[in-house]
Amino acid sequence: MGIVQSSRKLRPLSRILAACVGIAIAAGSHQARAEYPDRPVHIIVPFGAGGGVDVIARTVAAQLQRRLGQTFIVENRGGAGGNIGITAVARAKPDGYTLLITSDAIVTNPALYRPVPFDPIKDLVPITELGTTPDLLVVPADSPIKDLADLIAKSKAQPGRFNFGSGALGASPHLTIERLMRLGDFKMVHVPFPGAGPALQGLLSRTTDMNAGSYSSVKGQIDGGSVRALFHAGPARLPEMPNVPTLIESGFPGFVAETFMAMYAPAGTDAAITERLSKEVVEILAIPDVKNGIEQTGLHVVASGPKALRARMDRELPMWAEVISQIGLKIQ
């Protein structure tokens, strides 16, 4: 009987010890999250070095490295319109040590490619948007086309007379013009190039009549006076181009189309990690020297956190899917 009584008396003590062990484990887990990162972090850019996504990724990586005291390595994994790099992150271990910085290919590729090897909603967690730049259409400075109304009138008078280049088949600048042609009931011929640089050279050499791109990809030529914009698809006029109207002003209500860049982690990544990354990156992009340096490239800094980025994705995934379906565009 004495042994039984002793065992009963120990049961409350055992529960206390178990609770203490649980608290210690939870505290250790919290401490582990608080120490993130404790080894190098890889940021995958699904395009080649030197482009707009690569530039902002390296800017963010350098600042994260300085603030968090750990190495942030930018890796360029181009191919398949961004699918190779995006898929690598979507399938990576969700521990916060493999991240993604990409363009709006993340919202156009799911409808463009069949099959697409990732689900942008199920496989990735948004951290924050980084910046936007409006899509636009530029012509040589001496082009006889005066503005969008003039382009539509001349295109209707001579269907198929004009062509336009873009840096990628199915990227948002190309899809913006396809959508505009359907809404405006006019037709031009699309000429795809392997990148924004070659597309711009095609315009300057007069291989193409116009070029669809993002503002950041043609800002240098606009500033230099070799090309001029007929319009842009941002929500409001740009201070840098006060005389260039938006599509909304040009008679297309609600028509906003921007190339955007954003940061993601694999689905399942600890919320404490993604929240910290979001907080750090938002603060980084608010640093005056960082913000001004980025915006000099023609990219408007937008650091609005994960909820706003998810809202943009929810809005744009069906929008671009509809355009791609309407023009019957598929890439195998």
pLDDT per residue as tens digits for the range 147-186? 999 999 999 999 889 999 998 899 999 999 999 999 999 9
In a domain, residue 91? The reply is yes
Check whether residue 225 and residue 265 sit in a common domain: no
In a domain, residue 252? The reply is no
Tell which of 212, 232, 252 closes a domain.
Answer: 232
In a domain, residue 8? The reply is no
Assess whether pLDDT exceeds 60 at residue 11: no
Check whether residue 283 and residue 201 sit in a common domain: no
Assess whether pLDDT exceeds 90 at residue 291: yes
In a domain, residue 10? The reply is no
Tell me the CATH number at 154: 3.40.190.10
- Residues 6+ away with beta carbon under 8 Å from 128: 262, 263, 277, 278, 281, 282, 303, 304, 305, 306, 309
Here the tokens at position 115 are 């099959």
Lowest mean pLDDT among 86-90, 183-187, 326-330: 326-330
For residue range 91-102, what is the model confidence (pLDDT) as tens digits?
Answer: 999 999 999 999
In a domain, residue 225? The reply is yes
In a domain, residue 241? The reply is no
Check whether residue 210 and residue 297 sit in a common domain: no
Tell which of 232, 252, 269 closes a domain.
Answer: 232
Check whether residue 147 and residue 121 sit in a common domain: no
In a domain, residue 13? The reply is no
Q: How far apart are CA 298 and CA 306, in angstroms?
A: 23
The whole domain housing 270 covers 41-131+260-327
Assess whether pLDDT exceeds 50 at residue 1: no
Tell me the CATH number at 69: 3.40.190.150
Check whether residue 101 and residue 180 sit in a common domain: no
- Residues 6+ away with beta carbon under 8 Å from 57: 43, 45, 74, 101
Assess whether pLDDT exceeds 70 at residue 27: no
Check whether residue 139 and residue 228 sit in a common domain: yes
pLDDT bin (cut points 50, 70, 90) of residue 34 is: low
Q: Between the CA of residue 299 and those of 127, 213, 264, 302, what are the distances in Å?
A: 19, 13, 19, 9
Assess whether pLDDT exceeds 70 at residue 257: yes
Q: How far apart are CA 73 and CA 98, in angstroms?
A: 10
Q: How far apart are CA 243 and CA 238, in angstroms?
A: 9
Q: Could you tell me which of 33, 44, 58 has the C-alpha nearest to residue 92?
A: 44
Check whether residue 151 and residue 68 sit in a common domain: no
In a domain, residue 253? The reply is no
Give the count of domains, the chain.
2
Q: Could you tell me which of 199, 197, 204, 196 has the C-alpha nearest to residue 227?
A: 204
pLDDT bin (cut points 50, 70, 90) of residue 31 is: very low
pLDDT bin (cut points 50, 70, 90) of residue 35 is: confident
As a dihedral over the C-alpha atoms of residue 213, residue 214, residue 215, residue 218, rounded to 10 degrees, the angle is -40
Tell which of 232, 249, 280 closes a domain.
Answer: 232
